[in-house]
Amino acid sequence: MAWVDSFLEYLKYERNYSSYTVKVYGDDLHMFETFFKELDSQLSWDSLDSDVIRQWMVRMMDEGQQPASVNRRLSSVRSFYRFLLKRGCVERDPARTVSGPKKKKTLPYFLRENEIDRLLDSTLFPDNYEGVRDHLILAVFYHTGIRVSELVGLNVADVYLEERTIKVLGKRNKQRVIPFGDELASFLNAYLEIRTEYLHGTDENAFFLNQRKKRIGVGQVQQMVRKNLALVTNIKKKSPHVLRHTFATSMLNHGADLESVKELLGHESLSTTEIYTHTTFEELKKVYKQAHPRA
C-alpha cells in the first residue's frame, strides 16, 4: 500500500479522525505530490528536501491562498513525515525546518448582549414546529457554546433535563458534558412537547429534525442562523460559530476562568481559548475610552 494511503488509514482507524478530516489530509498530500512530480518526475517523498516544500508554499501564496490555508497544508505534510519517520520509511524530515507564513491575528466575531436579547426574543419565531426548533437551536448555541456538528449530532438521550446537562460528541470522538440553566431548560421543554406532536409516534432518535422528520443537516442550520443573525446584527460574519464565540466571550466577561471555558468548549489547548481574552480586553478598552473623562 502506498505511504499516503497507509497514513490516511492510520488517521481514520487509529486516531479516529472524521472522514472529512481524513479527506482534507489526503487532498493536501496529493496536491503537494502533484507539485513536486511536476518539478521533477524523479522526486519522491524520501528524496525531496526543504527547498521543494518552500517552493510549494511560494506557489500557493502567489496563487492568492491565505496564510491559514498554506499553514494547514504545511501541517498536513509535517504530520505525514512524522508518521513516516516513526514507521522507518524515511531517514529525515524535510518539513521540520520549514516555517509557515505568519497569520494575521483576527479577533472572533461575537454578538453584544442586547443583540442576543433580540435574537432570542420569542416574537421573532412562529409557534409551529420549525419556529420552536429554530428558536431552541439558537438558544442552545448561545447557552452551551457547542459546535454545529455537535448540535446536529445530538440525540434525545443526550439531553438530561432533570440534571440540566447536555452530552456532546466532540472532535476526535471525545465526549463532554455541558451544564445549562433554567432559561434553556424552559426552551427545551417547550420544544420536546411540540416535537412529540410533530413526530406522531414515529421512532426517531435525532433531537433536531428537518421537514422529512429526519436528523437536521449542518447546511440547514447554518442557513437558518445566517438569516436570524441578519435580523439583529451588522457584523460581517454570521454563522453558528459566531454564537460559540459569543458564549465564550459572555462567560469570560461575567467572571468565568479560562480553564473552565476551555473545558466547556472542548478545546484541546488553553492557547486556543486565549483568543477570547483578547476579545474581552478589546471590549474593556472600548468601555474605558467611552467612560473615562481623560481617555
Catalytic residues: 147, 171, 241, 244, 267, 276
The contacts of residue 109 (CB under 8 Å, 6+ apart) are 235, 236, 237, 242, 245
Query: What CA–CA distance (Å, rounded) separates 73 from 59?
Result: 13
CB 222, CB 148: distance < 8 Å: yes
Q: What are phi and psi of 90, to 5 degrees?
A: -130, 160
- Give strand ranges (E) for 102-146: none
- Residue with grid cell 482534507, as numbered in its chain: 24
CA dihedral sign, ordered 36, 38, 39, 41: positive
Q: Do the Cβ atoms of 82 and 93 come closer than 8 Å?
A: yes
* Cell numbers linked to 286: 472600548
- Residues 95 and 53: beta-carbon distance below 8 Å: yes
Distance between CA atoms of 246 and 240, rounded to whole angstroms?
10
For 72, residues 6+ apart whose C-beta sits below 8 A from its C-beta are 24, 28
CA 151 to chain CA mean position, Å: 11
Q: Evaluate the CA torsion angle 14, 18, 19, 25 in order and state its sign.
A: negative
